[in-house]
Structure 1
Amino acid sequence: MDYELREKELENIKKYVNKIFFNQMLMDEDLVDDLIQDSNFYREVFNDCLIEGQYDENYIKQSLIMQQIWSVTEGKHTELFKTIKNTPAKVLINKISSMLDIAEKDPYNYDAVLNAGKITGILGTSILSEILHKCYPSIYPIKNKISCFSMSFILHEDLCYDLIDNLSYSEFVQYSEVISRAILEYLEENYIHIDDRYGFWFTYKLFEGIYNEPEVSEKIKLLSKKNYKWN
């Protein structure tokens, strides 16, 4: 799939970059450095724990999965949280390790990588893509409610939120790459250079800002009333 952003979509990106990065976050070189340090910190922690195996399974479950993954912490009062809490750490870590093993061997086979970690009703796209992103931020974007909603506000003329949520992970990656490239190019035009390796990290930071915009919050409320289910 070769997708090119249209003028309206580029305008949407610039609008949100101006509003969130420049007006709200007051982005400058120091903030860029701080955000990059955050990215590197998570990468080191998750690599040490999950790839290098330097911590035991219970630590990984309790301190990383249940406290550092947004889709889990956001759902503390849901059945998902209870299910993860009651699932043995070994079961979770074995599946995640299988996923990361494939990511090491065949990193760009996005769907195969993600599917290797899935446990129906427990480990889905939202959780696994965030783990992948924190281990390999330059390769895997986060696909969760935040990113799907926010992407719909950029590409709303072509895709609405439910269609984006139903994209395969590999399709979602391709859209994310296009948006990430546009964000970095616009930041470059404003004299802020960010290495391509951090493109998905900064794209998700923008998505978080969009997600917290009042207009987006209203749509979330409407969908919640319809009992919309997220992967």
Structure 2
Amino acid sequence: MRSSSHLVAALLLAFPTTVLAQTDAQTASLARTLKQGVAPAHRVQAARVLGDSEDPEALGPLCAGLADEAPEVRAAAAKALEVLGEPGALECLEARTDEQEPSVQRALASAVSATKALRARPARVYVMLGEVKDSTGTLSPELVKLTEARLRRKLFQRGAELAPAKQSEAEAKALLAKRKLPGYRLLPEIRPGSAGGLKLSVVCMRYPGKQLLGTVEVQGADAEPGDLLAALVPQAIEETAASYKWK
């Protein structure tokens, strides 16, 4: 719902368990298959699904897959890293200077080129992301930190440049004026959901000021907290981008 001065965009989602399964638990299972699967075809498929997962936790297993004994698996891991779109993949991709198989060399070159382009892409918005607040009192610090990492990754994918934590107001104003970027402050909070699950709320303000623009809320149930949050993060950022018309 929207009003002229205060925007509140609520997206209340009841994710089915089959959708939420494409998160932490499956990433761990796929990582094991990629590392230990007997058949190369199974390891290739695991790499492909990890690449499509949009999970930052897939980066490590896919980088390790670049050293697989089977060239088709190494090529699949390189292609999956390109699809994953994780800026941190560049280091492990460029480290494979000893690769001799032409098909793998081509996959590596394509992934390196795409990842460099991703890193060099001009920002569309400038975002100060606040610390994730856990209002449930039940989540582990590790899960809260992982949720923040996922928020940062999704923001980067959405074209945001992230402001440093201790940036002064004067520094922010100067940068925004020079770069001609809109500035936003996002304050994420994890709260109990109305259906017994979790709700991810993101308060959006102007940055470096504190003019309140509105709130985006996404909600899910019927899954483990880690699975819920992995599914809610991209929904929250996409809804935020749509609500405030990030180009």
Category of TM-score, reference length = shorter chain? 0.3 to 0.5
Choose between structure 1 and 2: higher helix proportion.
1
The TM-score normalised by the length of structure 1 is 0.35
TM-score (norm 2): 0.34
Which one has a larger percent strand, Structure 1 or Structure 2? 2
